[in-house]
Structure 1
Amino acid sequence: MTVRRGRPADEPALRRLQTHLREPSPSLLSHGLRTGGVLVDAATPAADTTGGTGGGDPAGYLLAVAGDGLHVAELVVRPARRREGRASALLSRLLADATGPVTLLVAVDNGPARRLYDSLGFERVERRPAFYDDGTDALLLVGDPAQAADDR
């Protein structure tokens, strides 16, 4: 897997991936590509036969925004490429580069994502009732880059 910084030329492919998110933010993605806040898993080969569009399109991306530390605003992997360690590689790269806490929100009903975050040492900070438009609760999680480095 190759994790690299996103670039504006990635935007069409990332917008296709963004359709798999519960609540995408197209304007935030555009801004993140311009400011270096996007990490891309560029590992989809041109001869992809697993449902990708071919041509070396990204298999996934992570959009982080700065605040009090970093906040993962979006993380998505092409459905046909999930369970291959791609989201883990994106998060591990972000944690390796971070100098402060990394936060994210996850829907309480998203078991696979919660297991991933647990495996990377993210801890629950709070529950946000009816956070998503469909009324689903979210959990705010925080990851410690120093802890992630100790685990490597």
Structure 2
Amino acid sequence: MPVRPARPSDRSALSSLQSHLAEPSPSLLDASVASGDEGGAVPAGGVGTLLVSADGDGTADRPAGYLLAVDSDGEGHVAEVVVAPARRREGRASDLLTAYLRQRPPGTRVTVTVAPDNGAARSLYEAHGFEVAGRRRDFFESGDALVYERTV
């Protein structure tokens, strides 16, 4: 499944995908789409990285999932990963995470926060070498978060 940088023309599809998240951040997604160019690059001071898992050949295709990360000071934080319910269990989240990690320079620390009861997300990150580094009390509206991290 092709993974490509997001495009401004993806905005509607990305917003629709974001509605499947338990605790989305529409302002973060809007800022990322608005600050990216057609190549998906986000300028210095922008939000970070926005990649999509696309259906089709990667040119005129509709996003079936996305990964949104905040990049700063040589570190990355995966803020949102979502795949359309009908396209789950196809390896799309894994492909997105792999692509994101490959773009990071060696030595980059990458973190992600996950709800303790989100077994699917925890399995994804553990399969990619992330380890639990801590816990944040009341991080989500629904409760605590586990902080996973790894160094690329």
Fold match (TM-score > 0.5): yes
**Which one-letter code corresponds to 1:70 in the other structure?**
G
Q: Does 1:80 align with 2:86?
A: yes
Contact 1:44–1:58 (CA<8 Å) still a contact in 2? no
| TM-score scaled by length of structure 1 | 0.83
Residue aligning to 1:98: 104
> Aligned residue pairs: how many?
135
* Structure richer in strand, relative to its length: 2
For residue 66 of structure 1, the aligned residue among 68, 71, 76 is: 71
Residue-by-residue CA offset, 1:1-21 (whole Å, 9 max, x unaligned): 000000111010000000011
More helix by share: 1
- Residue in structure 1 matched with residue 45 of structure 2 by the alignment: none
Is 1:143 the counterpart of 2:140? The answer is no
Counterpart of 2:52 in structure 1 is 40
The amino acid that maps onto 2:135 is R
Paired AA for residue 77 in structure 1: V
Q: Give TM-score scaled by structure 2 length.
A: 0.83
- SS in structure 2 of the partner of residue 130 of structure 1: strand
Once residues 44 and 112 of structure 1 are traced to their aligned partners in structure 2, the CA distance between those partners, rounded to angstroms, is: 26
How far off its partner does 1:118 sit?
0.6
Q: Percent sequence identity over matched residues?
A: 52
